[in-house]
Amino acid sequence: MYILGVRVDTVDKSSALAKVADFLSSGEGHMIFTPNPEMLVDAQKDSYFKEILNKGDLNICDGKGIALFAKDSLERIPGVDFMVDICRLAARENKSVYLLGSGFEYVVKECKNKLLEKFPSLKIVGLHPGLKITDGFKFDSDENDVIIDDIILSAPDILFVAFGHRKQEKWIYGFLPELPSVRVAMGVGGSFDFISGKIKRAPGVFRRLGIEWLYRLVCEPRRIKRIWKATVVFLFYYYKNK
């Protein structure tokens, strides 16, 4: 189905993981995106971003607001949880993983450590904190080439990209064709921060009720503009386009 012109797939977690398993056994790369209300709002002003989202091979619903307006036809699958589920699948199926992003080497290293604590047999063949990308999607091409070369040399089956939404989706779309080993590339936003412990996730009751945004607002008041966008502005666009 489409919400604000962006495709969101009507899958539950088990069927989504079955699709990932199929992707991993295929001979080509696939893109996994996690649309949430903030991403849908940004897609209204960035047509290229919207186009890329709609080219995703699997778009899981990562927002309670989206699920509510879909009248329960969509299951919310938090991106960080789905990343962990994919790592569990990778450990079981002997598939390799590369971690790219977060902006901080200590975060991506600790993310690796936490994943290996959870899945000792998981093959994490490479990691890199990423590069600076502007909102206009400008970056140092030489630095990017170093990253591309390292991923090619590491030859992962799965690539998790944590550049923040818009940047990570555009990067995956632009450079996945240059990564011959990668069968699954997923934009994971702040997942490395959560897995590493840099940022604490909301307690379970907040997650079940779909109000993680409220917990994060209390803990990180500086996020108020993003939360406003994901709640009030999202509602404005939804009812405007209904």
CATH code, domain carrying 28? 3.40.50
**Quick one: 34 and 125 in the same domain?**
yes
Q: What is the pLDDT of residues 17-42, one digit of tens each?
A: 999 999 999 999 999 999 999 999 99
**Quick one: 87 and 180 in the same domain?**
yes
- Domain span holding position 55: 2-196
**Quick one: 149 and 42 in the same domain?**
yes
Side-chain half-sphere exposure of 111, counting CA atoms within 13 A: 33
At 72 the pLDDT is: 66
> Which carries the bigger pLDDT value, residue 233 or residue 221?
233
In sequence order, which residues have a C-beta less than 8 Å from that of residue 217 and are 6 or more positions away?
A: 223, 224, 227
Number of domains in the chain: 2
At 232 the pLDDT is: 87
**Quick one: 165 and 47 in the same domain?**
yes
At 65 the pLDDT is: 81
**Cα-based distances in Å from 63 to 15, 212, 219:** 18, 10, 19
**Quick one: 7 and 97 in the same domain?**
yes
Neighbours of 58 (CB within 10 A): 21
Q: What is the pLDDT of residues 86-122, one digit of tens each?
A: 999 999 999 999 999 999 999 999 999 999 999 999 9
Per the rule left: phi > 0, alpha: psi between -120 and 50, beta: everything else, 75 is beta
Model confidence at 225, pLDDT cuts 50, 70, 90, reads confident
Q: What is the pLDDT of residues 159-214, one digit of tens each?
A: 999 999 999 999 999 999 999 999 999 999 999 999 999 988 778 777 777 777 77
**Quick one: 149 and 211 in the same domain?**
no
